[in-house]
Every structure is written in C-alpha cells, then in structure tokens.
Chains A and B, each alone.
With several copies, the nearest count.
Chain A
Amino acid sequence: MPHDGHHHDHDSHDHSELSPIALRVRALESLLIEKGYVDPAAIDLLIETYETKIGPRNGAKVVARAWVDPTFAAWLKQDATAAIASIGYTGRQGEHMVALFNTPDTHNMVVCTLCSCYPWPVLGLPPVWYKSMPYRSRAIVEPRAVLKEFNVELPKETRIDVWDSTAELRYLVIPMRPAGTENLSEEQLAERVTRNAMIGTEVLA
C-alpha cells in the first residue's frame, strides 16, 4: 500500500533504526538550525501546538454551539470565518471558512483531490486516510462506496454533495444533531461530535 510507509513503530533515538526519510529530516533540521534559518524553540512549539491545542475538539465546539444557538448557526452559515473566530479559532489553513449544514435531504462530504487541504484551526492536521490517494481519487466519483468503508450507508434518496477544496476555502461539515440529545448541555453535545462527522464520512447517531 502506498502512503503506509509511515505506519511503523515510533522512532527510537537509535540512529540505526531510522528510515531514510527520518534520517533526511533529521539532517535537514540540523542544517537549517546551523544556518540560522530556523529557531529550534519555534519548531518545538509548532509541534506542541498541533499535538495539543489545535484539533477536532475545536470544531466540535463550533458544531455544538450551532446546534444550541440558532443565531450562531445563522451567522455560521452566513460568514463561517467570523463566526468561528468568535469562538477563538482562526488562521493558518482556516483563513476562509465555509460551514456545510447536513440536512435529511443532502449529505455533505469534503475532499481535496489535488492535495490535502483541510480546515486546520477547527480540525487539526488531516488524518492519513484523508491525505491518501484512495480517498483523494475515489471520494468524488464513488462517494457511497467510500462511505461504506466508513460503515456509513445513506438512503438512496439522500443527495450527496462532495466538496473538493480546490481553492483556499476550507470546509467544515455541520452534522445533523442526533435524536435524543435534547437534554444535553452544549459541552456534552460537543463530546458527541466526531472528526469524521465534520468531514462528512460519519453520521452521528
């Protein structure tokens, strides 16, 4: 399988166990630091940020807010960038946000066929499958076959719109609120929202 080359055990610090690409990146890092092109502390902070601060819990909060607050939902529909910024999520790979509201008639699903564009501020870094050639190539032509691989089967009558992120717009799917969640708090609702539901490869139940 292509794109699976990085599914090995995590690196140890023993040089002899590193793959060629791991060694190459290590050499590049030393070189860029030695030449003064990068600040090692910035590298560490960037990694920490995407490992701990920027991830799908952000998007889940946006979704939960939209479920409980019709004014916010309307704003999100109208100007997603501003509405999302009001909760504190802005910037790199989310400069121009669009929210796609699933309905009983229309299911939205997001892909980037040409690279792997993804709304980082609300979902974090994309999962391997989203970046893989199988998803990139197939999502637009056989969405139902792809959804089946996520154990999702939509009724035949449901229209599927697949959004291909060919520009700098970044898409966040707002899944339908599951039945029986009327008594949950906004925080409890956010816990029900999964990353895949915000990409459109899962339906919340």
Chain B
Amino acid sequence: MNGPQDMGGFTRFGPVNPEVDEPVFHEAWEARALALCLAMDSSGLWNADIIRHTRESMPAMKYWSSSYYDIRVEGHITQLVKHGYITEAEIAAGRMQVPPATMKSVLTAANVPAVLAKGAPYDRPGKNPARFKQGDRVRCLTAASEGHTRLPRHARGRSGEIARVHGTFIFPDTSSKGLGDDPHWLYTVRFSAREIWGHDNSDGVMLDLWEPYLEAA
C-alpha cells in the first residue's frame, strides 16, 4: 500500500505558513480528542503500529483534507468500532445503545502522571547480532511490505550509509498486523540528497530504518 501518508518529496501542497504564538489547541474539541485518544490507548486493544496503519488507510483525499486531531480521532473510532466497543450508531446518537464490552484497563486520573512519564518503550531484546555497523554502505529494498511500512517510497532502491546503530526495536511491518513484536536492529541511515533527489549539494536525508529494509550495497 502506497498510502496518503507517504508524500515526502512532493512539493505542491503549498507554503508551510508557520503561526506566531500558536496556542497548544486551537479549538476545545482538539484537546478533548487528543485526551480521549490517549486514554483509549491504555485499553490495550491496539498498538501504535496498528493505529498508524488505521489512520493511513483513510481514503487519500479525506486524509489530506483532515487535520491531525481529526485523523487521530477517526483512527481510534475505527478501531473501537472494529473491536465491538462502540458502534457508529451510538456516536450518531451520542449515547449507549449496546451494553459496554469489557475494558481490560481504564486510565484513571491518579494514573495519568505515571503513565505519561513511563511511556511505551519500543526497544526489545533481539536474537541476532547487528548485520551492519556504522559506516557500512546499504541499499533499501525496492519492494515494500504489503500493508503498513515505515520505508518511504523515495528511499526504496536507494543507497546510503549507516550513521547510527540503535539496538533492536519492535518491527512495525509485523506489529501493525498484530503478529507480535518481531524485534529487529534499527539504524539511522544517511542518504545524500544527491542520491535521493539528484541535488548538487552535500545535504543529507536521515532515515530510521529496520534491518529487514536493508541489504549490503
């Protein structure tokens, strides 16, 4: 799937328009939406990769014309509906029509500080030694996984150099399918802007890439 999220290198969405003294939230619903999403993340019904894939599965035109909080809340609604915790009819009505499902864990106010401070680390013990070391030349695969992947289109088939070796982390291409953590070595790879865009300068594009995306170049 080459989804609406993968638009790096496209130049025609218009100017960036930074806002001076931007408030944390522009509208009250954005704050509510974010907090609801964070609270529901404690349910254990999905992981970060599943929820990203859900957001990316929106039709492209809707994705591009929706705001960040809109996309987030729709992703969470999709998952809650899919797991049978709520129905679209209930949202339309604004009230319960079918009895609640069992929620493994509800985030209480008392737990908020600890849950935020702990976060959800993504490093996991791996089985194999790292295949690459700093300075190694690598090439990204041309093929991408079916479904969710974090290998963007502009990097596929391109060569770069291992800039940093980070340890073993949950692999999103597997995790997004609910098939477990499948930890793999994570690297930061430096690609020259010349290699990726043909630019005549020394700029770099730095990407965090898992070992299964890479082969020796």
Contact = CB atoms under 8 A, between A and B. Distances in A.
Q: Are A and B direct contacts in the complex by CB distance below 8 Å?
A: yes
Interface string A91-104: 11111101000000
B109 interface: yes
Contact of A32 (B14, B22, B40): B40
Which of A45, A131, A167 gathers the greatest number of chain B CB atoms within 10 Å?
A167
A29 B52 CA distance: 21
Contacts of A1: 14, 17
A99 to B, nearest CB: 12
Interface residues of A, number: 87
A140 B38 CA distance: 29
A25 B8 CA distance: 30
Nearest to B190: A161
A115 B52 contact: yes
Interface residues on B, range: 35 or more
A16 to B, nearest CB: 15
Majority-rule SS of B interface residues = mixed
B117 to A, nearest CB: 4
A166 B108 contact: no
Nearest to A10: B27
Nearest to A126: B68
A57 B112 CA distance: 21
Contacts of B46: none
A140 B106 contact: no
Interface string B29-40: 111111110111
A96 B122 contact: yes
Contact of A95 (B55, B119, B207): B119
A25 B33 contact: yes
Given A113-B8, A162-B203, A47 B34 contact: yes
B16 A160 contact: no
A8 B23 CA distance: 13
Interface of B: 2, 5-11, 13-19, 22, 24-36, 38-40, 43, 48, 52, 55, 61, 64-70, 73, 77, 85-86, 90-96, 100, 103, 106-109, 111-113, 115-123, 150-152, 154, 164, 166, 169-170, 172, 186, 188, 190, 197, 201-210
Interface of A: 1-3, 5-8, 10-11, 18-19, 21-22, 24-32, 34-39, 41-47, 49-51, 54-55, 90-96, 98, 113-116, 124-129, 131-138, 140-143, 146, 149-150, 156, 159-169, 196, 201
